[in-house]
Chain A
């Protein structure tokens, strides 16, 4: 059953700034959708429009078939977890969690039952009488989630909820959020700029760029078949190597000296891409090109080699190679690489669309 529908939803500010041209998205019940993109791409604005904190200038938002555009945030049956948690500093943890229910006129004993239940689930029982100022960052994060959960809303909205936590806690909370969401089965819209968070949490990802949804799909779809060079560069770490190239009769010409053989009906300028993990080290005679090594980052389990190809023409196209395990090649030495054709990504340089 479709739960949340965004139909041509757009945002124009009173000063005429067209922040979001038009987004179409329909979300199934229980789905975990992550909105991801660089800062300023409009992902938070979109989330806030769903929440009712920003007005919707164009299009329609429906939750369970009902038009929501004109509804107050409180009437939309959504709950939100904020980046800075937004806990009421003068209320206890219990009062923070109970506030929304109290405002809705839920009887006292029911409130108590719900808050106790959720506090138990999140391990907050001991902290119910504390004030937010006495809690650690992770505990506050949990209370913010608890406040959202007690209401039993149709939709959870998360606005970069983990960005204020340290790296270790972030990983732990990420896993916890995913488990809780599975258990509760609540439709979720989650905003982040962190692609690792996006990949690990999402059922489906929406990659936003300048207010436009560049691609919507499962994390693996997006990794394997990025629709545009932007998506290709944004998803995956380290980023995909992207090189301006030309498709001719001979194949894909990525530089004056290097032409990779491929028969493709497309002619003209393209963006050619390959992920660092898909480049293969080989010997000179099977190689597609040579890489002059400039820097090596050894992480133990993997090694990232930064270098340039096509030195002769002076174009010095940068490229990153990712190898499993430890390697210690010399700086300034050459290594020989092949780019297996099944891992290529080709985009039309003009339309930026995948070929």
Chain B
């Protein structure tokens, strides 16, 4: 800043550190809780420092069973979550790339109508149309299937808009040069458009992966077979065990494991994440 006011700098750092501590508080508590045996709870408080049962608890939930009525291990549910998250991510990116390509680089009747139909999907989150969508999936016999988990969520206007925006920013002369160079629609798509959209695709990948991994209500509704349970939704099932029998240490470990992959993605790919977040809100 302009003036040299050391106390302001100190205040800034202090505020930020307090903020960080508050933001990290629940995760810290959960981490501590997961290292104590189940018997340590219910005696009046959650312990404030690490116990010695951590390795056992984490091993059990990760590889044996998550507990609290869920017999599949977290590791297995992670795979389900991964399948769902990647399915949604790749599905969204693929169909959005294609439709944005059609809308930007071709002229055809009802082009605007198609655009508006896609636009309308922006308006309706799954949460709003949950009952009828469930019925559609039930009618199509897609309950308890990976297809049912992913397919209804891959129609989204956001990605189409983002790619449309990105394609529109490609200079017209470049397209013309490619046409003079003899590139048809397919070559142009693969040789020019995809490489030029690389960063946008990667940024969107990060955002969509988080979105897909964190799906909650949808998998909760359409999976009743624990072979298809995803990690985030299973927490709710774990919590519905009667109060006295809840193994809090296992729930905490499972919760932490459930947030680990997307948090790792955000921290590991911070730059792409920020870009994706800012772009998808344009």
Contact = CB atoms under 8 A, between A and B. Distances in A.
Interface of A: 51-53, 72-74, 78-80, 82-90, 99-100, 103-104, 147
Given A52-B179, A99-B183, A100-B182, 12 more contacts: A51-B180, A72-B179, A73-B176, A73-B179, A74-B182, A79-B180, A80-B180, A88-B178, A88-B192, A89-B196, A100-B181, A147-B177
Interface string B185-196: 001000110011
B196 A80 contact: no
Nearest to B175: A86
B173 interface: yes
B268 to A, nearest CB: 24
Given A99-B191, A103-B187, A86 B179 contact: no
Contacts of A51: 176, 180
B183 A103 contact: yes
B176 A53 contact: yes
A177 to B, nearest CB: 18
Nearest to B187: A103
Contacts of B177: 80, 82, 86-88, 147
A26 to B, nearest CB: 23
A74 B180 contact: yes
Contacts of A103: 181-183, 187
A88 B171 CA distance: 10
B174 interface: yes
A87 B177 CA distance: 8
Contacts of B179: 52-53, 72-74
Interface residues on B, range: 10 to 19
6 contacts: A52-B179, A82-B176, A86-B176, A90-B192, A100-B182, A103-B181
Interface in B158-211: 171, 173-174, 176-183, 187, 191-192, 195-196, 198
Contacts of A89: 196
A82 B181 CA distance: 13
A86 B196 contact: no
Contacts of B171: 84, 86
A72 B182 CA distance: 9
A84 B173 contact: yes
Given A74-B182, A99-B191, A103-B182, A80 B176 contact: yes
Given A89-B196, A99-B191, A103-B187, A83 B173 contact: yes
A115 to B, nearest CB: 13
Contacts of A78: 180
A156 B2 CA distance: 57
Contact of B173 (A74, A86, A90, A100): A86
Give 9 closest A-B pairs by Cβ, nearest first. A100-B181, A74-B182, A86-B173, A103-B182, A86-B177, A90-B195, A82-B173, A73-B180, A73-B179
Contacts of A99: 178, 181, 183, 191
Nearest to A76: B180
Contacts of A53: 176, 179-180
B212 to A, nearest CB: 28
A22 to B, nearest CB: 25
A84 B187 CA distance: 22
Contacts of B181: 74, 99-100, 103, 147
Nearest to A85: B173
Contacts of A79: 180
Contact of A88 (B174, B180, B198): B174
A326 to B, nearest CB: 45
Contacts of B173: 82-86
Contacts of B183: 74, 99, 103
Contacts of A85: 173
B187 A86 contact: no
Nearest to A79: B180
Given A89-B196, A99-B191, A104 B174 contact: no
